[in-house]
C-alpha cells in the first residue's frame, strides 16, 4: 500500500511518523484542561472528543469519547474499530468534503501534554525473545543450559503491576530494594546499583474473552500496539527471583509510548515468526504471519548531553507473537479484559549491537558500553534519559509510535521519604 494523501500537508512527508496510513490514538490536554481523545495526523491532532460532541463522528447511540481513554471504543469490537478508522480516514483524506468543518478541530502536537492512552486493566510481561533468553541464560547458567526446558514450547510470562504503567515522559525514580552480592554473607537494603531497560512492544487487548481462545481469535482481539520499556533492577531481581521469578525488580515502572498504533495500520508489515526448534502444540501454532517488520532502537543521553544510539533491532526477532501469548494466557480459562497489556519481553537480535537491554549489551557489567560522549555505561546512571523508538517503513510512508522516554531520578534519601 502506498502513501495515502491527506489535506493535512505535514502528514504527506515520507519520513513523518503519522501519515494517513497510521492514525494512532492518544489522549492529550492543553494548558491544564481536561484530557481528551485524539488521533495524530502529521504534526496535528484531531480532537476526537470535540468531533463527537459536534456530530462529526457518530458511531453509536452512546458517546464513545467523553472519557480520557480509548477503552470504550476498544470494548465495541472490531466492526466499530473499522467503522471509526474509516470515518476518520474520510475526514482527513485529500479532497475531503468536510475539510472546512474538521480543520477547526485540529490541535498542534507541540502545544499539548500527552497522557496514558488507555486504562490498563491488568499487565502481563512475557519472555518471548529467544536471543534475549539465550543471552541471559548463558550469563547465569552457561550456554548448554541457557534456555529452560519449557521455553521452546510455551511463552513464559509473569504478572506485573498495572498500577506502575506510566506514559512516556514520566520521570523514573531509582528504586530501593534488598540486594545481596556473592561476596556478602547477608543481604542489605539499598538503592539499586544495576538499573536497566528492556526494549519491548506492548499489545493491548481490545475485545474481552472468558475462557480459552484460539491464536486466530486472540489476534482478532488485539486492538493495537505501543512501545514498552520494562524498567528492571537487575540486582534486586538476582536476589529475589528464585523460586517464583521477578517481583519487586519489575514493579518500579513500565513506560509506554503515548500513541496506540492500531493493528489495522500494521497489517502491511506482517511477517512470519522464526523457524521453530520444536513444532508447537496445536493450540499455539501460527495461523499466518504473526509478527510485524518494525525497526526498533534505543538511545541514551547522559544528563545535559547528546544522545547515543545503543541498540537497533526489529520486532520480528520475537519467537512468540502477541497473539500466541494471549492465546496461551487464556488456556487455563483466565478471563482477558479490555485494556489488558501484554509486554513482549526484551527484543534482541543475534548480534551484540541488536541487544535490547544493558544487561546484555554490557554482558552483566563486564563489557561497559562507550557512548558517543566518551562516557561509559554498564547500567543506567542518575540523570540518564533513555528513549525507545519504533517505525515500520512502507512505500513512501512511515508508521511511527511516538518516542517512549524516561529519565532516571536519584533514589530517595530513604525509601520512605515523602
Would you name the residues annotated as active-site residues?
A: 132
- Identify which of 278, 178, 184 has the alpha carbon closest to the alpha carbon of residue 238: 178
Q: CA 259, CA 23: separation in Å to the nearest integer?
A: 9
Q: Is 7:96 a contact under the CB 8 Å cutoff?
A: yes
- Angle 87-91-94 (CA atoms, 0-180°, nearest 5)? 125
Handedness of CA 70, 74, 75, 80 (dihedral sign): positive
Q: Is 36:69 a contact under the CB 8 Å cutoff?
A: no
In the chain the first and final C-alpha atoms are separated, in Å, by: 53
Q: Is 272:291 a contact under the CB 8 Å cutoff?
A: yes
Q: In sequence order, which ranges of 24-97 are alpha helices (DSSP H)?
A: 48-53, 71-76, 78-92
Non-local CB neighbours of 244 within 8 Å, separated by 6+ positions:
none
User: Residue 6 has what DSSP assignment?
Assistant: B
Q: CA 289, CA 291: separation in Å to the nearest integer?
A: 6
Name the helix (H) or strand (E) containing 399: strand 398-400
User: How far, in whole angstroms, is CA 366 from its chain's centroid?
Assistant: 29
Residues 311-320 as b or e (16 or more Cβ within 10 Å = b): bbbbbbbbbb
Non-local CB neighbours of 258 within 8 Å, separated by 6+ positions:
26, 27, 114, 115, 117, 167, 168, 169, 402
Amino acid at each position: 500500500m502506498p502513501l495515502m494523501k491527506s489535506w493535512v500537508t505535514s502528514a504527506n512527508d515520507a519520513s513523518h511518523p503519522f501519515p494517513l496510513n497510521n492514525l494512532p490514538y492518544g489522549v492529550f490536554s492543553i494548558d491544564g484542561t481536561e484530557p481528551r481523545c485524539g488521533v495524530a495526523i502529521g504534526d496535528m491532532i484531531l480532537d476526537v472528543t470535540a468531533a463527537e460532541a459536534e456530530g462529526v463522528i457518530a458511531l453509536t447511540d452512546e458517546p464513545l469519547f467523553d472519557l480520557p481513554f480509548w477503552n470504550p471504543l476498544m470494548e465495541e469490537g472490531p466492526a466499530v474499530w473499522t467503522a471509526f478508522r474509516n470515518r476518520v480516514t474520510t475526514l482527513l483524506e485529500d479532497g475531503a468534503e468536510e475539510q472546512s468543518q474538521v480543520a477547526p478541530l485540529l490541535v498542534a502536537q507541540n502545544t499539548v501534554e500527552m497522557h496514558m492512552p488507555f486504562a490498563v486493566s491488568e499487565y502481563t510481561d512475557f519472555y518471548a525473545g529467544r536471543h534475549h533468553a539465550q543471552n541471559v541464560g548463558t550469563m547465569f547458567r552457561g550456554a548448554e543450559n541457557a534456555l529452560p526446558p519449557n521455553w521452546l514450547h510455551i511463552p513464559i510470562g509473569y504478572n506485573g503491576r498495572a498500577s506502575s504503567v506510566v506514559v512516556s515522559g514520566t520521570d523514573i525514580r531509582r528504586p530501593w530494594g534488598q540486594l545481596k552480592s556473592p561476596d556478602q554473607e547477608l543481604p542489605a537494603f539499598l538503592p539499586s546499583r544495576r538499573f536497566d531497560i528492556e526494549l519491548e512492544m506492548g499489545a493491548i487487548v481490545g475485545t474481552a474473552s472468558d475462557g480459552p481462545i484460539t491464536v486466530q481469535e486472540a489476534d482478532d482481539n488485539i486492538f493495537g500496539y505501543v512501545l514498552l520499556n520494562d524498567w528492571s533492577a537487575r540486582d534486586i531481581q538476582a536476589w529475589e527471583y528464585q523460586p517464583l521469578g521477578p517481583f519487586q525488580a519489575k514493579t518500579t515502572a513500565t513506560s509506554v509510548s503515548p500513541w496506540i498504533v492500531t493493528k489495522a495500520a500494521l497489517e502491511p508489515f506482517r511477517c512470519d515468526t522464526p523457524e521453530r526448534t520444536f513444532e508447537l502444540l496445536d493450540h499455539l501454532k501460527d495461523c499466518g504471519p504473526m509478527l510485524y517488520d518494525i525497526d526498533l532502537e534505543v538511545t541514551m543521553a547522559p544528563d545535559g548531553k547528546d544522545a547515543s544510539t545503543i541498540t537497533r533491532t526489529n520486532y520480528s526477532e520475537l519467537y512468540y507473537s502477541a497473539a500466541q501469548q494471549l492465546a496461551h494466557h487464556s488456556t487455563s480459562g483466565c478471563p482477558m479484559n479490555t485494556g489488558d497489556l501484554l509486554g513482549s519481553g526484551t527484543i534482541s537480535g543475534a548480534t551484540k549491537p541488536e541487544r535490547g537491554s544493558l544487561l546484555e549489551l554490557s554482558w552483566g557489567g563486564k563489557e561497559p558500553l562507550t557512548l558517543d560522549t566518551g562516557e561509559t555505561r554498564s547500567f543506567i546512571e542518575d540523570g540518564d534519559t533513555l528513549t525507545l523508538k519504533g517505525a515500520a517503513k512502507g512505500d513512501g510512508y512511515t508508521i511511527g509510535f511516538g518516542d517512549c522516554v524516561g529519565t532516571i531520578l536519584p533514589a530517595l534519601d530513604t525509601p520512605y521519604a515523602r
